[in-house]
């Protein structure tokens, strides 16, 4: 992140360069940094024996070959995850040794066949391995590479006796990153609430874990994730009726600033779309977005939305470039979306394709 000048937003490789390699693999992280990403996004779940491993969800069948392991068949079960019933294999039921036997797979093979061609090549990484890789990649690139760990379903794991925050802090402390990830109030701030020099920025959709981290590790930079609908699961369980929309009001953003440095909203909260999926853009370089970025900056928060993806199916309707052979998986005009976000004043962005984002910003 320290290489990101004040003239352009920070670019975070979303689960690595996940448009071209299976997400959360060493290959995806290495490619993202080689392409110039300032940091990489790292989703964290816990194993039965209390190790943090890097997967997008607690249920493992979408992104690994767990279903191909007959020795694990007896662990297939149904669990309620943040109010949603899911059937499959859950990280909390597998030991680290069992997870290490798995191999990563492309989560969207229909859209990303080139990435799916690498299925089975890479093992599931632990968070500690990612932190060691961060140091290696920083040395290789000659610049500091940041990690953006996200605590996935922390309330669910805490109820299972596997609280994620202590595991996170232990790994960061062992890697010497609690101080390096700290906030420096004398450092120039981007967006009024976040100095672009952190080695670590911790993300979460829930509120309570971020509050606990702010109290126990005040030096860590923290990011509140939001989405267009719904509410933080922990607020609902606590009887707090606020939802993500409430947190994104001017008053809500001032409250968020009490426990976070960064607001990480869904892309459409910054660049809204109509019923046809169009954002009505004004063209390259011109922002078309909501008031959210300005309101967050006024509250002292940086804004880093997720996720810029190159395929047509993820882009505003007017930026799609249909291909008769692959109307949804074909690549659209992602460069214009990146330039719109810059015009909206965002401080960074998560992207599955760091190379495309950096080309557009250049």
- For residue 236, the surrounding DSSP H or E stretch is helix 233-237
pLDDT exceeds 60 at position 2: no
The alpha-carbon radius of gyration of the chain (Å, integer) is: 19
Mean pLDDT of all residues in 220-236: 96
In a domain, residue 71? The reply is: no
Q: What is the dihedral of CA 59, 60, 66, 67, to 10 degrees?
A: 50
In a domain, residue 73? The reply is: no
For residue 326, what pLDDT is reported? Answer: 55
Confidence of residue 279 (pLDDT cuts 50, 70, 90): confident
Looking at residue 250, the DSSP 8-state letter turns out to be H
In a domain, residue 109? The reply is: no
The total domain count for the chain is 1
Sign of the four-CA dihedral 41, 129, 97, 203: negative
In a domain, residue 160? The reply is: yes
In a domain, residue 206? The reply is: yes
The span from the CA of 220 to the CA of 217, in Å, is 6
Entry pTM: 0.92
In a domain, residue 111? The reply is: no
- Residue 141 has a CB neighbour count (10 Å cut-off) of 14
Model pLDDT for residues 32-72, shown as the tens digit of each residue: 999 999 999 999 999 999 999 999 999 999 999 999 999 99
Question: Comparing C-alpha atoms, which of 135, 139, 72 is closest to residue 100?
Answer: 72
What is the CATH number for 15?
A: 3.20.20.190
In a domain, residue 139? The reply is: yes
The span from the CA of 58 to the CA of 153, in Å, is 8
pLDDT exceeds 80 at position 346: yes
Name the percent of the chain lying above pLDDT 70: 89
Kindly state the tokens that stand for 54. 């890097």
Q: Measured over all CA atoms, what is the biggest interatomic distance in the chain, rounded to whole angstroms?
A: 56
In a domain, residue 190? The reply is: yes
Mean pLDDT of all residues in 305-310: 97
Cα 254 to its chain centre, rounded Å, is 23
Full residue range of the structural domain in which residue 246 is found: 10-58+121-361
What 3-state class would DSSP assign to 263? strand
Asked if 47 and 99 count as a contact pair (C-beta separation under 8 A), the reply is yes
């Amino acid at each position: 992140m320290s290489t990101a000048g004040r003239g352009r937003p920070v670019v975070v490789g979303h689960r690595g360069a996940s448009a071209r390699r299976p997400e959360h693999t060493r290959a995806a992280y290495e490619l993202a940094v080689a392409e110039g990403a300032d940091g990489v996004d790292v989703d964290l779940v816990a194993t039965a024996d209390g190790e943090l491993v890097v997967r997008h969800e607690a249920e493992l069948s979408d992104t690994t070959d767990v279903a191909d392991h007959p020795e694990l068949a007896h662990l297939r079960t149904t669990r309620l995850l943040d109010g949603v019933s899911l059937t499959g294999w859950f990280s909390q039921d597998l030991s680290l040794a069992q997870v290490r036997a798995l191999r990563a797979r492309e989560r969207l093979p229909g859209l990303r066949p080139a990435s799916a061609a690498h299925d089975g090549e890479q093992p599931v990484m632990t968070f500690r391995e990612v932190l060691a890789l961060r140091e290696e990649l920083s040395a290789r690139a000659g610049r500091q590479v940041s990690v953006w760990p996200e605590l996935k379903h922390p309330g669910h794991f805490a109820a299972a006796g596997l609280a994620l925050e202590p595991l996170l802090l232990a790994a960061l402390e062992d890697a010497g990153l609690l101080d390096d990830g700290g906030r420096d109030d004398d450092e120039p701030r981007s967006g009024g609430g976040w100095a672009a020099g952190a080695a670590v920025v911790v993300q979460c959709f829930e509120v309570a874990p971020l509050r606990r981290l702010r109290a126990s590790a005040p030096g860590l930079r923290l990011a509140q994730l939001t989405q267009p609908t719904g509410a933080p699961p922990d607020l609902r369980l606590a009887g707090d009726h606020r939802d993500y929309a409430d947190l994104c009001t001017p008053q809500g953003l001032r409250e968020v600033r009490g426990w976070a440095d960064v607001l990480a909203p869904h892309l459409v909260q910054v660049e809204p779309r109509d019923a046809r999926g169009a954002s009505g853009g004004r063209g390259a370089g011109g922002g078309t977005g909501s008031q959210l970025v300005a309101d967050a900056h006024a509250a002292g928060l940086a804004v880093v939305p997720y996720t810029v993806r190159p395929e047509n199916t993820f882009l505003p309707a007017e930026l799609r470039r249909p291909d008769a052979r692959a109307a949804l998986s074909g690549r659209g005009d992602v460069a214009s979306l990146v330039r719109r976000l810059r015009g909206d004043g965002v401080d960074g962005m998560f992207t599955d394709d760091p190379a495309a984002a950096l080309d557009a910003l250049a």
